[in-house]
Amino acid sequence: MIAARAISSMKPTLFAIACVIAGTFSPAAIHAEDHPVVPLWPDGAPGSAARKNEPEKVTASGANVSNIHQPTLMVYLPSRDKATGCAVIVAPGGGHRNLAIQHEGYNVAQWLADHGVAAFILKYRLARDDANPAGTPQPYTIERDALADAQRAIRIVRARASEWNVNPAAVGIIGFSAGGEVAALAAMRPQPGKPDAGDAIAARCATRFPGTDLPRPVGKDRAGERRAARVPGVRLR
Which CATH code for domain 2-236? Answer: 3.40.50
Confidence of residue 203 (pLDDT cuts 50, 70, 90): low
- Residue-wise pLDDT tens digits, 89-100: 999 999 999 999
Q: Are residues 131 and 96 in contact, defined by beta-carbon separation less than 8 angstroms?
A: no
| Domain boundaries defined on the chain | 2-236
Query: What is the reported pLDDT for 191?
Result: 81
Print burial letters for 97-112: b (CB count within 10 Å at least 16), e (below 16).
Answer: bbbbbbbbbbbbbbbb
Average pLDDT in the 106-117 region? 98
Single pTM value for the model: 0.77
What is d(CA 26, CA 28) in angstroms, rounded to the nearest whole number? 5
What's the mean pLDDT when you consider all of the chain? 81
Is residue 39 over pLDDT 90?
yes
Please, which pLDDT band fits residue 103 given cuts at 50, 70 and 90?
very high
Residue 194: per-residue pLDDT = 66
Percent residues over pLDDT 90 in the chain = 65
Residues 6 or more apart in contact with residue 28 via CB below 8 angstroms: none
* pLDDT (0 to 100) of residue 34: 84
Closest CA to 143 of 158, 130, 124, 171: 124
Contact 146, 125 (CB under 8 A): yes
